[in-house]
Amino acid sequence: MRFADSLLRLVLSAALAAAASGCAMFAGPPASKSAQPAAPAGAAIPAKTQATANAATQSSAPAQAGVAAPKGESEPPLSPAVQQAFETARRALIAKRFDEAERGFLALTKSNPELGGPHANLAIVYRHAGKLPESVASLERAVQANPREPVLYNQLGIAYRMVGQFAKSRDGYDKAIALDPNYALPYLNLGILYDVYLGDSERAVAQYDRYLALSPGGDDKVKKWVSDIRKRNPQKSLASRKEQE
């Protein structure tokens, strides 16, 4: 089990969930292409992650240690110094001390460039500051370091959507789904992309339906969107569409 891995997934969920949302909270796309999504509340993403149970990606609590590596794969644990540095930066992010968090994660990306978590959390800081190109670049580095982590591809899809790169955004969500077909959020975000940005109601409904099928607790807001589309009022309530991280 890797401290950094668990942090990446759980914290990412939490931090983004809290304000920019994701996981337990919505943090996302406004209906207007030029609008900015809500800023992440400050969760953190573990330093290194491996794809695991989807339930963890939808949690709103800060990440805890303990994401297991795939069977047959064993990697050495992070050093105590790296764990401490990551935890310090993570706490700064959760507390919205963004300058401090940026310094901490930036230092880790230089000392441990192979870890995806610092890059991903740095992307959260940049997104909060409105530095969208930098946020995209950091997430691209994060997925290079952790190419099997669906949460990161979902985040990358959101980042690309925010800078108007819709084809790349769709690809990010598709990759997240390919890695974990039971991970609900990329279906929702892909539905929003088709619905609000690409004007393809038919495909949007298919993605919303899949998201709802994977959401045991239901989602009345998304059900309303589907109802609107099926009543041939696709423009109704577009402003309420929010991506989930």
The CA–CA distances, whole Å, from 226 to 10, 19, 191, 203, 240 equal 30, 25, 10, 11, 13
Q: Give the span between the Cα atoms of 106 and 116, in whole angstroms.
A: 12
Structure tokens at 26: 């919505």
Nearest to 142 by CA among 48, 72, 1: 48
Q: What angle do CA 44, 47, 48 make, to 5 degrees?
A: 125
For residue 124, tell me if it sits in a domain: yes
Quote the domain boundaries for residue 222: 3-240
Across 163-185, average pLDDT: 98
Task: Please give the tally of structural domains in the chain.
Answer: 1
Q: For the segment 50-103, what is each residue's pLDDT rounded down to a tens digit? A: 332 232 223 222 222 222 223 334 456 789 999 999 999 999 999 999 999 999
Confidence of residue 231 (pLDDT cuts 50, 70, 90): confident
Nearest to 3 by CA among 102, 94, 86: 86
Q: For the segment 90-124, what is each residue's pLDDT rounded down to a tens digit? A: 999 999 999 999 999 999 999 999 999 999 999 99
Other CB atoms within 10 Å distance of the CB of residue 84: 11
Dihedral angle over CA of 110, 91, 16, 5, nearest 10: 60
For residue 222, tell me if it sits in a domain: yes
| 114 half-sphere exposure, CB direction, 13 A CA radius | 3
Q: What is the pTM assigned to this prediction?
A: 0.71
**Inter-axis angle of helices 150-162 and 3-15, nearest 10:** 40
For residue 245, tell me if it sits in a domain: no
| DSSP one-letter code for 239 | G
Asked whether residue 181 carries a pLDDT value surpassing 60, the answer given is yes
Other CB atoms within 10 Å distance of the CB of residue 65: 16
CB 101 within 8 A of CB 118: no
Query: Can you tell me which residue has the tokens 């990161």?
Result: 152
Question: Looking at residue 203, which CATH number applies to its domain?
Answer: 1.25.40.10
